[in-house]
Structure formats: C-alpha cells, structure tokens
Structure 1
Amino acid sequence: MNDARDLPTAAEDSTLVLLTVEEAARRLRIGRTTCFRLVSSGRLESVTVGRLRRVPADALPVFVAKLRASELAA
C-alpha cells in the first residue's frame, strides 16, 4: 500500500528543475542561512522568477565540483 511517507519530499524529487533555497540547502545538507549567503554572494547560481528566488537543480553539482576543485588546488 502506498503511504505518504513513500513519496519523495521536494528536496529529494530529482524531477524538479528549480528549487527553493531551502530545498537546495537540504540537498546540499547545509543550513538554510548558509545557503542564502551562498546565493547572495553568487557562489551558488540562482535565478529570479517573478519575485521568487530559485536555485536551478543542475547548479548544485556544479557548485560541489567547484568546491572540490578549490580543495584540490589548495
């Protein structure tokens, strides 16, 4: 029997193209405030849709790759 607990949360749903900053933070396993700082600084790509700020789902692996590259270079 299907249960609501079996359904993926928005942060886990890989079909989503745009995520809220909170959903992006959950996927990255970082705090909401930290994620907002990353978006504000431009380190994590985001777009504006009307008055809403969204993070493209494909920006997350790009962000992680940049982090890994900077750690390897250090």
Structure 2
Amino acid sequence: MPLSITLTVTSSPPSSTAQIAQRIADDMAHLHHRLGDGVSDELGISISYLVEQFALLAAAYRSPAEREKHP
C-alpha cells in the first residue's frame, strides 16, 4: 500500500503550522488505534513513529504561551 504524505506550509503563521501538524498527529494516532499494528507492517513504517514526528513538529512551531498549555 503506497503512502505519501506531503505537508507544504508557506506564509503561514507558526501557530497555524502547529495546529496542522497536531491535527495530522491526532488523525494518524486515531488511524493507528483503529487499524492496529498490522497497518505499520503493511506500510513498512511505524505509524507510532509518524505520530511522534508530527507531534514534535507541532511542538516546535508552538509559541511559548501555547507550549505552556500543551507541554
């Protein structure tokens, strides 16, 4: 099953980028929960790893005030 994820954010404020990345992380976590670990085997990459990477991306783009709300 081919999987391609392209995230292009241009001229967006960092908070918007953080929201997009967090939403992707949340959606992928939900997908992983629904489909189980077998989907990772099918794709050849750990869905948990992708969730973690998008969560880190979201954290990197959060403002200091948002970081306090969402550590």
Higher relative contact order (CA 8 A, sep 6+): 2
Q: Give me the TM-score of the superposition, normalised by structure 2.
A: 0.31
Higher strand content, 1 or 2: 1
Q: Give me the TM-score of the superposition, normalised by structure 1.
A: 0.30
